[in-house]
């Protein structure tokens, strides 16, 4: 049963009243889900993309543009389990510059991953040509991530914040913009 209440020509399914209906909406694409269920799915995809972002950021900070300092929580965590992480004895300014490069590398990987999952599971594609949709998706992410990277950079550069904490700030700052932009601008809904 579909509830009336058309918005932009689309009919939204009702909120699931049973576990089996919730599972059906969770399994289906975004158009087959109530907006609250869709948001939960978006959160799951966002969590997975965030994990990819963190993983790639730290790999890059360890192996490409070294940016992990001795006081970083990552160093302490790995030391706790007996793994030594290479430490970069560099200034906060150089570490901040390297962090920007590492974040850009991670952005490319995590955003591509996120786009694929959003198209397959969360939103309904087709509002724009695929190439335009992909470009808009990246543009929305670039804007929010760029602002978040700038904020994280300022905390490292001027407050000496450790890389691990700045990654958390970057994530929180970027999530705020992306859902609305993707739902209203990039995809059909």
56-105 pLDDT tens trace: 999 999 999 999 988 888 888 999 999 998 888 899 899 889 988 998 99
> DSSP 3-state assignment of 13?
coil
Q: Which residue is associated with the tokens 């397959």?
A: 120
- Residue 164 CA to residue 58 CA, distance in Å, equals 9
Q: Say how many CA atoms lie within 13 Å of 139 toward its Cβ.
A: 9
CA distances to 67, 106, 165 from 168, in Å: 16, 14, 5
Burial class (CB in 10 A: 0-12, 13-18, 19+), 86: exposed
- Span 96-149, pLDDT tens digits: 899 889 989 999 999 999 999 999 888 888 888 999 999 999 998 888 878 888
Q: How many percent of the chain have pLDDT more than 90? A: 33
């Amino acid at each position: 049963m579909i509830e009336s209440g058309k918005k932009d020509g689309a009919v939204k399914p009702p909120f699931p009243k049973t576990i089996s209906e919730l599972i059906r909406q969770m399994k289906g694409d975004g158009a087959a889900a109530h907006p609250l269920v869709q948001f939960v799915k978006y959160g799951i995809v966002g969590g997975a993309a965030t994990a990819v972002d963190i993983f790639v950021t730290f790999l890059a900070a360890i192996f490409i543009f070294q940016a992990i300092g001795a006081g970083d929580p990552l160093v302490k965590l790995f030391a706790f389990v007996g793994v030594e992480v290479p430490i970069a004895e560099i200034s906060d300014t150089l570490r901040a510059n390297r962090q920007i490069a590492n974040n850009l590398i991670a952005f490319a990987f995590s955003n591509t991953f996120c786009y694929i999952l959003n198209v397959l599971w969360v939103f309904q594609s087709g509002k724009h040509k695929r190439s335009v949709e992909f470009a808009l998706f990246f543009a929305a992410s670039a804007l929010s991530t760029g602002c978040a990277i700038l904020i994280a950079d300022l905390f490292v550069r001027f407050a000496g914040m450790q890389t691990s904490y700045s990654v958390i700030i970057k994530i929180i700052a970027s999530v705020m913009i992306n859902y609305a932009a993707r739902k209203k601008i990039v995809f059909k809904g």
